[in-house]
Structure formats: structure tokens, C-alpha cells
Amino acid sequence: MNKINVLVVDDSAFMRKIITDLLNSHPRIHVVDTARNGKDALKKIDELNPDVVTLDVEMPIMDGIAALKRIMAEKPRPVIMLSSLTKEGAEKTLESIALGAVDFIAKPSGSISLDIREKEVEIKSKVLQSVNANVARLCENDKKPEKTVVSTFTQHAISSIKKTNQIVGIGTSTGGPRALQRVVTQLPRDFPAPIVIVQHMPAGFTHSLAKRLDHMSQITVKEAEDNEVLKNGIAYIAPGGYQMQVEHSGRGVISRVTQGNPRNGHQPSVDVLFESLATLSSYQVYTVLMTGMGADGANGLILLKNKKSNTVAISESKETCVVYGMPRAAEKTKLIDFVVELPEISNVLIKQMKARGVNNGNQ
């Protein structure tokens, strides 16, 4: 199997050395060179044509955001951003994802992270997975600063849906912020169900993601809180570093946000969320699995379909996934009802809600 050639870009000589050593210790990865800023990186991409670029966000002369714009416009390829855990770092990271970065790694302790070795497994895994990313999909610029106008079809369909007990669960990982933007922004303000979302992200980043999506969407988007009553027309994103479940209470369906154990390395985990949806006996459940590495969500879907056979399961098609991992694992269960390209997911979801009407699932 051919080696994956990587260009490491960071203004810190220490970080360049450590990241290079970490990556070169894997038999399939070879660091072809390093660069100290975005301008230097562009020159070396021209010369060396690396398969993957790791790109620091904060650098002098040309920062990571400016370099990323040029890379995706001129020499598109998988780019993994390295960013700080600050609020500003989170916002710039989400901007970079919108501009075409395949994924990101949060530096544990600032620009020069002496403890970056803690991220060794994550760094290697993301380089190995990103080489197969759908670069054409990454080149599509999904950045939309203003609220999206919801289609007339959607508004009409929503108005005809019976007001029954319904809930939507969405799971995604790599490429997820862009995919969520395409789906959530197409839902109307009076969407007749709460939406619970697991996006694989570390603590500190999901709050910025919720704010960004809320700004663009007709519905309200927020980071979920523990013991919160779930309301129609609101999307709740599981906080990074916490598991999110839902359960019945005397006040209605509520969220449970707890710092439990990771499931298959994930916290939040789609499996954990989907398993909790199976406990909502009087609710019609709809699930959506979108782009992402790994198989999170597949086991949860099996349990959910076993307990609530009328659950409607949608997966994103290979053609539009940035990484066709989670949807593929779900499709292998033979329990997916609809395989749909990303731009059509919101329409298919609404059509299914309309078709089921009062059949709200007491199974």
C-alpha cells in the first residue's frame, strides 16, 4: 500500500518536529516536508504535491485560514487544521471547516502544546482517514452568513403535518458541520418536532457550532443542557465531552447530559443517543446518519429498530459524504429506509413526517 505523504505546517519549530515524529512513526505515513507559514506551505504544495496537509490556524505572514482558501481554490486536497481550545480558536476552526478543511485537531494547551503527544492516536487516525475524503465535496463552499430561506414546498408540507409526538435524532462526525448546515437551515421555524444532534467534537467547539447554525437557521439551534424539556422547532446539540440521552418525565421528554464513559472512543456518541430514543414509547422516531469516520450509530440503530420497528432511518449517500464511514456502517445493517443525497435529506424527512401523520408509533 502506498505511503501517505504529508506536509506539516506550523510556525513553531517545536510543533513541526513533534508532529513530524508522531506521523513518521506510523508505517503508512511519510512527512515529505514542513512549512513555517501559509505562504511557505503554498510553495511546498506546488513542489511536493502532498496527499494531506496539517495546517496550523495561527501563523504570521499568512495564517491557516488564508492558506486554506488558496489551497482549496488552486490545489484542493484533504487539509486537517490544528487549532487552540479558545473561543476564538473554535470560531476560526468552524470557519475553516466551512471553507473546505476535512477535519481539525484541538491543541491541548495553546499554540505551542508541550503535551501534543496526547493527540498522537487522533492525529494519525485523522491523517489515515482523510486521505480518502471526498475532495470534490470539500471544494463546495457552504458558507452562508445569513438565514436561509425555506422553500415553499417545505412550508406547505409542514403546515399539513399532524401535531403528534415526534422526535428527530441526527448523528454525524467528519464533515458534519457542513452537512448539518445543509439540513438544519432547510427546516422551517415551526418544525413539528424537537431535533437531538450528536456531532463528534471536543468540549468547547459544540457551543460555537450551535451559535453558527442558529444564526443561519429558521429554527432555534442550541447546545443541549441537562434536564431540559425538549420543544418542537429547536435543535439540541450534544456538548462535546458529554453523553446526551433523552427520556420521559412528568414535564415531557427531557435531555440528560452527563459526563459518562466514551462509547467506542466517542463522547458524545450517536449509539448512546439512539439507544435512549428507543425508550420513547409514545413517539414516532426519525433518525439521520450523515458523513463521518467509523461506525458510530449503527449499533444504536439496530437496538432502536428492534424496539421501535416503525422508526424511519435515513442515511446520507456515498456521493455527497465527505467520509462515507458512518452511513456505510448503518446501511450494512439493512435497516436504513432511505439513502439520500445531502441536499434532499430535509425534504425526505419532512415528506416522511407528513406521510405518517397520526401514526406516531406506540411500538
Positions annotated as catalytic residues are 173, 200, 296
Distances from the Cα of 37 to the Cα of 54, 65, 300, 313, angstroms: 12, 11, 43, 45
DSSP letters, 152-189, are HHHHHHHHTS----EEEEEEE-TTHHHHHHHHHTTS-T
Q: How do beta strands 103-106 and 79-83 pair?
A: parallel
Q: Is the peptide bond before 268 cis (omega within 30 degrees of 0)?
A: yes
Q: Residues 346, 348, 349, 354: is their CA dihedral positive or negative?
A: positive
Contacts (Cβ under 8 Å, ≥6 apart) of 158: 188, 190, 191, 192, 350
CA-CA distance, 39 to 350, in Å (whole number)?
A: 46
Q: Is the dihedral of CA 119, 324, 343, 68 positive or negative?
A: positive
Residue 122 contacts residue 104 (beta carbons within 8 Å): no
C-alpha to C-alpha distance for 140 and 343, rounded to whole angstroms: 12
